[in-house]
Amino acid sequence: MQTLLIATWNRHKTREIGQMLGAGWDVRDLASLPHAPKVEETGATFEENATLKALTISRIFTGLVLADDSGLEVDALSGAPGVHSARFAGPNASDAENRFLLIGKLRSFGGNEFPARFRCVMVLASRGELLGSFTGIIHGSIILEERGESGFGYDSVFVPAGYAETFGELQSEIKNSLSHRGRALAKVVEFFRS
């Protein structure tokens, strides 16, 4: 069984990646690495942040390390919240506070749906060496009412293109097959196969 350390403390993200990889993988996160440093996301892009995390953690973990940075880009907000998606409403903001701020900002434009995309960049590293960078994007819209209990982050206000349901309403298998993270991870899996 191959071990893959996800460079995150976010259990939701670890579980989601584990579900997408399926059997044959021992997927762990930073909770399994007792002295893992907290890597500050100081990059200006998703790729810079993911690379910083992957390389930093791969210097202290002997196996494969996968780091990602992902977020929501809303056209009406010139691509915001972007790399600040997790802390849009402040450094310690909850998902609910981030959604509340997003909806509030979008209400000022009028309308009910706003073109947006989720972008995920995954970076694979081992022993301080960069092995690859993989991007996944899902287009859709932000709506102004929260719907659905599944998922996390902005899932309850994001409707993927071609669907009527939000990510928060879709079954996890469907969401994972469509999601930006799923698309980036499919490229990682393809890299392993080649």
Mean pLDDT, the chain, whole residue set: 93
Paired strand residues for 126: 64, 129
Structural domain tally of the chain? 1
Q: Is the model's pLDDT at 16 over the cut of 90?
A: no
Q: Is the model's pLDDT at 45 over the cut of 80?
A: yes
Nearest to 141 by CA among 169, 115, 165, 103: 115
Which pTM was predicted? Answer: 0.89
Q: Is the model's pLDDT at 151 over the cut of 80?
A: no
pLDDT at position 38, please? 87
Q: Is the model's pLDDT at 193 over the cut of 90?
A: no
Residues marked active site are found at 69
Confidence label for 13 from pLDDT (cuts 50, 70 and 90): confident
Angle value at C-alpha 118, between 7 and 96, nearest 5 degrees: 80
Q: Which residues span the domain enclosing 96?
A: 2-193
Which CATH number do you get for residue 135?
A: 3.90.950.10
Report CA-CA distances (Å) from 69 to 49, 83, 111, 169. 6, 8, 29, 23
